[in-house]
Structure 1
Amino acid sequence: MIQFQGVTKIYPNGVNALNDINFQISKGEFVLIMGESGAGKSTLNKLITKEERPTSGEVYVNGFNLSNLKGKKISLFRRSIGMVFQEFRLLSKMTVYENVAFAQEAIGVPIERIEDNVYLALKKVGLRDKASYFPKELSGGEQQRVAIARAIVNNPAIIVADEPTGNLDTKTAWEIMSVFEEINRHGTTVIMTTHNKEFVKQTKKRVLLIDNGSILRDYKRKVLTS
């Protein structure tokens, strides 16, 4: 599903963000990407979504070789990925419904199908009854749930979540993690960058630990019971 082969990324300013990265993520996995600020996590995400190109090496996602992807094929590829960000990035003048529907309208989904799709996505994140609310009327956790609904409404094969709990309190962060776990249980591959070490300690998720642009460890922990 996702494969990095000898990937190095050097930015024009000389910053070496990733150094000869090699890993593979299979369909249906839930992977936590961890590391300090500046370790290379965001660059890795941007390579997966083709916001950046590797300086060398190959990136394969959903059967696409991203090095060879051009034009309309880029848009087609990006439809297979849902993005969730730390800052929510909701449109303040649109309702919850409209924020989620916008993702469908952007790819030309027939209008007669949009309503059912939007309400299904909102149901999955527990917000069907708040479709008419505006973002400012919601808590931070609820706003993030709207962002997740927007990311899943097009039924992507992969969700890439960049520090999605970074602005949330501990309780709400775990609630959002549970939403992602439920999405993953239905077959969607989830890749989440996080600083939350409790997610690592108390879940069985695979962890890619990045340090100074290199994968320091690739492991799966057992849940701590103490």
Structure 2
Amino acid sequence: MTHLADVRASYDTVVDGYLRLVPAPEAMDAWSRAMLAAFAELVRRQERPVADLGCGPGRVTAHLARLGVRDAYGLDVSGGMIAAARRLRPELRFVQGEMARLGEPDGALGGILAWYSVHHTPAAELPALFAEFHRALAPGGHLLLGGHVGEGVRRPTEAYGGHPVSYASHLVPAERLVGLLVGAGFTVTTRLEQPRPSHPAGGYVALLAER
């Protein structure tokens, strides 16, 4: 789990740049907003807590709440991000923790959102991560996974306006993500892929899956 220390330390230093440069949910592209809206509609029916994993400063958590998800909460490994989320959205619950160790009872959650956060997990650890998601979700619960796809490991030296970072992005193809989710016991119901013109070998994917 040495990658977690790098992720934690990096995101603790980039909070201000992140808030300034990363689009708020209402400024996302239409397809991303549509996937988040569909996820919110599905998990509202569960009447169980919904976890936004890798929530950062809590903007997407708050977006879920505005979409009618009554018990949405955020979890992030970065104490700096959690502090910002609590300051900006004191009406919501935010927890510092690890997405691979949720601390929830079996079947406790109605939904899990992992929005541009899973790519910091080394590819070899994804089966255990998705098994933890499956364990924590109730039968009929939903997972929305969105993020970068591609091949290989990228290690930027700076991000979000020039702040130094030490984390890595571990990219895998969309097809492999689908296979890993199926192997963990999920049924993938919707798959949306978007190209990334600046990186022809990579892109973005949103996967909606049911436990």
TM-score range, shorter chain: 0.3 to 0.5
TM-score (norm 2): 0.37
Q: Rg larger in 1 or in 2?
A: 1
Higher relative contact order (CA 8 A, sep 6+): 1
